[in-house]
């Protein structure tokens, strides 16, 4: 189980770096959503189901949608 946890942790760091460095805004949002989803996995392993449910609903679900809607409202991707 430790190996899986370390692998997920490395994936979280990679997606966080990608979210910061991505050229397009939309790619960054998707990477952020992926990071939240992987964090949910770590929360479940660390026996924090309350936080996991909240993170899955807010971080991976609604926050991504709100960011994409706000990007749409701003008028698409500008560098």
Partner 1 sequence: MRRFISIVIVFGLIMFFINTLSLLPKYGSVNISKVSEAYIDKNVNGNGGNVKYNESESLENGAANVVTSIVVDYRSFDTLGEVTVLFTAALGVSLVLNGIRRKKYGRRPNFILRVSVGILLPLIILFGTYIFIHGHLTPGGGFPGGTIIAAGILLLYLSNEEFDLSKTPKFVEGISGSLYIVTGLVGLAIAGVFLINFLPTGIVGDLFSAGIVPIVYILIGFKVGAELSGIVADLHREG
54 binds partner 1 (CB under 8 A): yes
Per-residue tokens: 54: 């909240």
46 binds partner 1 (CB under 8 A): no
Torsion sign across C-alpha atoms 15, 21, 26, 27: negative
3-state helix, strand, coil in the chain (%, to 5): 85, 0, 15
Residue 13 or 49 having the CB closest to partner 1: 49
Selected from 6, 10, 46, 57, the binder of partner 1 by CB under 8 A is 57
Selected from 50, 75, 76, 78, the binder of partner 1 by CB under 8 A is 50
């Amino acid at each position: 189980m430790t190996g899986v946890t370390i692998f997920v942790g490395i994936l979280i760091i990679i997606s966080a770096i990608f979210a910061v460095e991505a050229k397009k805004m939309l790619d960054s949002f998707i990477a952020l959503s992926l990071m939240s989803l992987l964090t949910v996995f770590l929360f479940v392993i660390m026996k924090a189901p309350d936080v996991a449910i909240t993170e899955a609903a807010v971080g991976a679900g609604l926050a991504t949608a709100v960011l994409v809607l706000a990007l749409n409202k701003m008028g698409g991707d500008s560098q």
